[in-house]
A = this chain, B = another copy of it.
Amino acid sequence: MKDLESLSATQAIKALAKREIKATNLLLSCLDRIGQKESIVKAWASLGKENALSRARALDKGAFQGLLHGLPIGVKDLYDTYDLPTSYGSPIYANNYPSADAVSVALMRQAGGIILGKTVTTEFATFKSGVTTNPHHSKHTPGGSSSGSAAAVADFMVPLATGSQTAGSIIRPASFCGIVGFKPSFGKVSIAGIKSLSITLDTMGCFGRTIEDVGLGVAAMSGDHRLAKIEALHNKPRIAICKTSNWSLANKETATALAVARHAAEIISKGAVADQKLPKTCDGLAQAQSRIMLSEMSRSLAFEHFHYPKKLSAQLSKQLIEGAQISYEQYAKDLQFANRARASMAELFSNEIDILIAPSATGEAPNIKDGTGDPIFCRGWTLLGLPCININMGNGPNGLPVGIQLIAGLGKDHFLLSAARAFALALPDPVLRDQA
């Protein structure tokens, strides 16, 4: 029973399916860990200990329920849950009890998952930090907006937790916390029952400590159970490095991570791993993403802005006003630009490249006083809707994790998982290979 909390989701599920371990004991181990660490890490907005325990007991007695049978899961507090309060990171919703689960949460429960609690999100998944700290160093941010989910998984409080990305809210915290974060293709996981920021950008995904685990999580969240089984690569993939037009913002440790990534990629790739520039049609991606997000936010949060202006942070209020000042013409132009950029990326992925490797963040996690970090290296990929996965590449000068992201063509989620596993297995450090 000792150290059950350190099992990966996939390891735990295998043991649970064979009834070698009990869901109850796994849950108690996670609760123990939370008891030890929560006062520092502050990953949880709420815990549903009693409900989770009675569910675990029922699962231990009953028939095998599916992909997530008996697995304790953290759910970002942006997702509705019928049995736990759902605050969206805002005091406006401090006493909000939704009448139903978000669709993806219902699917995880249907697959036997145990929702242990809600994890801290920044205010409406925007930029005002929550209380969560980085498990590797409490003076540093875990990243945002999926702060609590990333920290809880990195700190062995749960093996799996959900996230959402509108700018960089899955890949960045995964990078800062040194775990695997998976943002599948746009639209793969239903957004129903999740507080909307931007209908063009909001993408649901999850965090785990291994690549298999995030495949398992998204398999359950989406209903595409094929993702729970990672296939071996049939052919050597064509891999390139994409430093992006924001490369000047990358710190040294990110450059090092990318250099190590190139070496690992060479081992598994078809031919040399060259640098790849994005097509001209993608110039200004991050700026367009930022304008689309702000413009849509000003509409998505119109209710809150009208009824509870004083309960919004000054930072968010300012952004809502800024967003409302973007003309619909500009917004429509940005959407058209995004469509052209997506089409040119579809061509690139079909003709030249299978996998791109790019920075996940500017570098290590910044000091918590300086916010949740810059999503600049994620904005463009989110707007393109492409599936992305963060892989930890080891530590930077402050001893904090640094990740890179692997990116595949739209809808190639299953292939991305296969490529990521092959890539992780080619990493020089055995500890890093454990992600595979």
Question: In this assembly, does A304 line the interface, its C-beta being within 8 Å of a C-beta of chain B?
Answer: yes
Question: In this assembly, does A224 line the interface, its C-beta being within 8 Å of a C-beta of chain B?
Answer: yes
Check B196–A299 contact: CB distance below 8 A.
no
- Quote the shortest CB–CB distance from A230 to chain B (angstroms): 16
Question: In this assembly, does A76 line the interface, its C-beta being within 8 Å of a C-beta of chain B?
Answer: no
Check B302–A106 contact: CB distance below 8 A.
yes
Check A302–B196 contact: CB distance below 8 A.
no
Question: In this assembly, does A226 line the interface, its C-beta being within 8 Å of a C-beta of chain B?
Answer: yes
Question: In this assembly, does A310 line the interface, its C-beta being within 8 Å of a C-beta of chain B?
Answer: no
* Given contacts A103-B196, A103-B300, A299-B223, A306 and B110 within 8 Å (CB-CB): yes
Check A199–B187 contact: CB distance below 8 A.
yes
Considering the chains assembled together, what is the distance between the CA atoms of A100 and B86 in angstroms?
13
Check B328–A224 contact: CB distance below 8 A.
yes
Please tell me how many copies of the chain the complex holds: 2
Question: What string of 1s and 0s marks CB contacts (under 8 Å) between A80-101 and chain B?
Answer: 0010000000000100101111
Question: What string of 1s and 0s marks CB contacts (under 8 Å) between A193-235 and chain B?
Answer: 1011001100000000000000000000001111000000000
Residues of B close to A336: CB separation below 8 A = 411
Considering the chains assembled together, what is the distance between the CA atoms of A110 and B298 in angstroms?
12
Considering the chains assembled together, what is the distance between the CA atoms of A332 and B110 in angstroms?
21
In which size bucket is the chain A interface? 35 or more
Question: In this assembly, does A172 line the interface, its C-beta being within 8 Å of a C-beta of chain B?
Answer: no
Considering the chains assembled together, what is the distance between the CA atoms of A196 and B189 in angstroms?
13
Residues of B close to A296: CB separation below 8 A = 190
Check A109–B306 contact: CB distance below 8 A.
yes
Question: In this assembly, does A432 line the interface, its C-beta being within 8 Å of a C-beta of chain B?
Answer: no
Considering the chains assembled together, what is the distance between the CA atoms of A110 and B110 in angstroms?
39
Determine the residue in chain B with the shortest Cβ distance to A339: B411
Give the interface of A toward B (CB within 8 A). 82, 93, 96, 98-101, 103, 106-107, 109-110, 187, 190-193, 195-196, 199-200, 223-226, 296, 299-300, 302-304, 306-307, 328-329, 332, 336, 411
Pairs A–B under 8 Å by Cβ, sample size 22: A100-B303, A103-B196, A103-B299, A103-B303, A106-B303, A106-B306, A110-B302, A187-B200, A190-B196, A190-B199, A190-B299, A191-B199, A192-B195, A192-B199, A192-B300, A193-B196, A223-B328, A224-B328, A224-B332, A225-B328, A226-B329, A336-B411
